[in-house]
């Protein structure tokens, strides 16, 4: 017994196996902490199979086993030089549209070389020989494909190989048919702006006239002898927007019917979709200030339209990127989401727009409307924050708001890809500590069929590094509000010591950084800093999302005011903790977060020693109409809301260390923002540091730029904080 005791004491005295130190190359170069994903999934018609892409191959997978049973497309059939980016099936699943050689334009827009693959004959043909295409889409019956080229709309009959040009007036920086202008793409989240009718006989499409929209001039440096100018239409706050029309093309006779949108042309059409009736088009119209939303129903034959539903707000109405309106198959009802009662919930309406039932309710939010399974006893599937604002869970409920059932059990974050017939779904589950686990589920019984990917190799990798958990906390404000936050502390944290603190935040309207989910590259960069002896805190101020309308909308007409106050007060609170060195508190952020870190180092000069702003807005007068005016109205309406919290008007307060970084090719938050801020800082006699990335966009995507930036960021923080 004594021998065993001595052995145990000896073993406990041995040093633990040394864990690896995270490097920035691990995070932004090698992809050491990048999880595997299940991508390229398309549910097949019979509900027994789905397809999945692996490299350039496409497989048919049995849903009951999760195993491939057939190769639908062999990537070796691609013409030389083509790379497969994505694919879609025809309605009868006899053909594939293969999207290859994608070249991005902005965040979502692109051109590509589309190929049509006949599954039976195994033949591959170019969709068109007349130039690259964008957003190619099968008609519902798979007999035709519509696409955009050079701002014009086309369709091709696959049986006759006849290509028809629907519009002819498309021209860069003037007229756009079938796709969106820059600001719709960025702020309403879509670029394909044409829609096949359910009967294959009509195509509804957007037409943008952006002739009167001011141009932004962005110099492109490259490696040429003389830099070139890239001019594109970008409506800054208060400036002229594109004039938008909705048109319906009839394939049988070539007639184009205009949908009347009213006498006021300074409006937005954020969504268009067909109802279950192939002759009834649903159009959503908003006023420029985005505080009134109308659902219109238009007759496709005559164009006659009527408003069936109107919602107004004393602040603004958000349009989700995800599906938030579903027309039921019976043609008698539709389901939509709204935050009109103070929290975003699901509502049932009759087809004439009358509200029939509030389906979900409570002091929590529906974050995504998955869809409505209408067979037998119709059920609505949705993701919500009911369990916690920091989590996302899958629920179902009937159309009367009864029989609610939570389908996800464990604490964490869930998202789902539901099959078209609602028989199965692929669940993506992850937590703070656990990367994505993809599982196939049978819906009705909520039964797991198979784990498709558990990221075990990444889990094993994580054990080799000194990864620390998020320590969640609430930061109390003097007004009684409590902010959600978390902190990262070193593995060998000693409460008797004091540490420098870096605050990371984004803070934009409706955003969320504090949550119980697997985090990306910023999280592992922060882990790197923790290993260097820093504490990192993340705080969601007022104005961020998923805590109700009042919490989010408080920043209306005064972006930056409450968010800055909250970050400063949170930093003061954290600075009073015994283990934090209040003289060494820093803050950093990207985009809106860069705007906030700029304001905080100025307005909170007595709190923050160091700040880093990456690609910041420095005056909302420079940002686009849709985003900015949604929260601030126009500069003509609310000048003080634009100027009171602009960093360029607070440069005289700067006392600490400030690093300003921007890409000169940023089409979103223009480099102009940093140029003007630098000019103001220089005029005020303030010393600061700056760096620019030639020709790089808002996210520094591609190449080694992100790796370079984070190394520079780390070096700056270690020298200045």
Catalytic positions, written as ranges: 591, 666, 698
Two tokens at 260? 């009347």
Nearest to 381 by CA among 391, 393, 395, 392: 395
Q: What is the DSSP letter of 678?
A: H
Check: CB of residue 149 under 8 Å from CB of residue 130.
yes
Strand duo 657-663 + 610-614: pairing: parallel
Nearest to 555 by CA among 568, 566, 569: 566
CA distance 604 to 643: 18
Q: Is the dihedral of CA 460, 463, 464, 469 positive or negative?
A: positive
Nearest to 500 by CA among 575, 601, 596, 612: 575
Distance set, CA 442 to CA 209, 371, 422 (Å): 48, 16, 9
Whole-number CA gyration radius for the chain:
27
Give the count of beta carbons closer than 10 Å to the beta carbon of residue 45.
13
Helices (H), 453-591: 456-462, 521-531, 549-553, 561-575
CA distance 496 to 511: 35
Give the count of beta carbons closer than 10 Å to the beta carbon of residue 331.
12
Give the count of beta carbons closer than 10 Å to the beta carbon of residue 496.
6
How is the chain split among helix, strand and coil, in percent rounded to 5? 15, 35, 45
Two tokens at 217? 């001039």
CA distance 27 to 708: 12
Strand duo 110-118 + 95-104: pairing: antiparallel
Q: Is the dihedral of CA 557, 563, 565, 566 positive or negative?
A: positive
Give the count of beta carbons closer than 10 Å to the beta carbon of residue 494.
10
Burial of 239 (0-12, 13-18, 19+ CB in 10 A): middle
CA distance 364 to 263: 39
Strand duo 162-165 + 202-209: pairing: unpaired
């Amino acid at each position: 017994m004594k021998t065993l005791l001595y052995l145990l004491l000896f073993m406990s005295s041995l040093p633990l196996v040394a864990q690896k130190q995270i490097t920035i190359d691990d995070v932004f170069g090698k992809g050491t902490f990048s999880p595997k994903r299940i991508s390229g999934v398309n549910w097949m018609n019979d509900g027994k199979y789905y397809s999945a892409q692996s490299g350039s191959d496409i497989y048919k997978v049995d849903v009951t086993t999760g195993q491939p049973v057939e190769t639908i497309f062999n990537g070796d059939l691609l013409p030389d030089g083509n790379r497969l980016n994505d694919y879609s099936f025809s309605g009868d699943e006899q053909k594939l549209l293969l999207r290859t050689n994608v070249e991005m334009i902005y965040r979502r827009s692109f051109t590509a070389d589309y190929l049509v693959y006949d599954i039976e004959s195994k033949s591959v043909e170019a969709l068109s020989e007349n130039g690259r295409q964008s957003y190619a889409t099968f008609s519902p019956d798979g007999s035709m494909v519509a696409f955009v080229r050079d701002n014009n709309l086309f369709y091709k009959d696959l049986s006759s190989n006849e290509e028809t040009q629907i519009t002819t007036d498309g021209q860069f920086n003037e007229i756009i048919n079938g796709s969106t202008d820059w600001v719709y793409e960025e702020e309403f989240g879509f670029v394909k702006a044409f829609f096949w009718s359910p009967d294959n006989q009509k195509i509804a499409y957007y037409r943008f006239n952006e002739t009167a929209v001011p141009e932004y001039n962005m110099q492109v440096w490259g490696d040429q002898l003389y830099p070139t100018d890239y001019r594109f239409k970008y409506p800054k706050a208060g400036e002229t927007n594109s004039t938008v029309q909705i048109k319906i093309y009839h394939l049988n006779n070539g007639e184009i019917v205009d949908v009347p949108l009213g006498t006021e042309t300074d409006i937005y059409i954020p969504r268009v979709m067909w109802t279950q009736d192939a002759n009834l088009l649903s159009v959503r119209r908003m006023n420029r200030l985005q505080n009134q939303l109308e659902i219109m129903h238009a007759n496709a034959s005559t164009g006659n339209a009527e408003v069936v539903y109107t919602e107004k707000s004393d602040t603004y109405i958000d349009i989700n990127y995800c599906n938030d309106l579903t027309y039921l198959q019976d043609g008698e009802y539709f389901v939509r989401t709204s935050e009109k009662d103070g929290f975003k919930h699901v509502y049932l309406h009759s087809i004439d727009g009358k509200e029939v039932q509030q389906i979900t309710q409570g002091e929590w939010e529906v974050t995504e409307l998955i869809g409505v399974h209408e067979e037998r006893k119709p059920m609505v599937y949705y993701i919500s924050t009911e369990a916690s604002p920091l989590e996302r869970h899958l629920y179902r409920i009937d159309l009367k708001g009864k029989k609610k059932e939570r389908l996800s059990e464990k604490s964490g974050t869930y998202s789902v890809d539901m099959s078209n017939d609602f028989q199965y779904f692929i669940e993506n589950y992850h937590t703070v500590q656990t990367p994505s686990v993809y599982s196939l589920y049978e819906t009705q019984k909520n039964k797991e069929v198979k784990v498709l990917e558990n990221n075990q190799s990444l889990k094993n990798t994580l054990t080799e590094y000194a990864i620390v958990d998020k320590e969640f906390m609430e930061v109390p404000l003097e007004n009684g509000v409590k902010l959600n936050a978390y902190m990262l502390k070193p593995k060998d944290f000693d409460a008797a010591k004091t540490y420098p603190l870096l605050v990371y935040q984004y803070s934009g309207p409706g955003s969320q950084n504090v949550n119980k989910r697997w985090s990306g590259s910023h999280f592992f960069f922060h882990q790197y800093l923790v290993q260097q002896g820093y504490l990192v805190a993340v705080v969601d101020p007022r104005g961020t999302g998923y805590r109700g309308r009042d919490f989010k909308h408080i920043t209306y007409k005064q972006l930056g005011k409450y968010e800055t106050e909250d970050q400063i007060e949170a930093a003061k609170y954290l600075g009073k903790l015994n283990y934090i060195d209040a003289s060494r508190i820093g803050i950093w952020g990207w985009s809106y977060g860069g705007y906030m870190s700029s304001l905080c180092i100025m307005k909170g000069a007595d709190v923050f020693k160091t700040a880093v702003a990456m690609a910041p807005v420095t005056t909302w007068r420079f940002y686009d109409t849709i985003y900015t005016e949604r929260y601030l109205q126009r500069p003509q309406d609310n000048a003080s809301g634009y100027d009171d919290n602009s960093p360029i008007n607070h440069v005289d307060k700067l006392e600490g260390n400030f690093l300003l970084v921007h890409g000169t090719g940023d089409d979103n938050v223009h480099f102009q923002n940093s140029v003007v801020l630098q000019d103001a800082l220089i005029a005020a006699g303030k010393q600061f540091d700056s760096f620019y990335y030639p020709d790089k966009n808002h996210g520094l995507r591609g190449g080694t730029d992100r790796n370079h930036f984070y190394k520079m960021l780390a070096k700056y923080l270690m020298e200045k904080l």
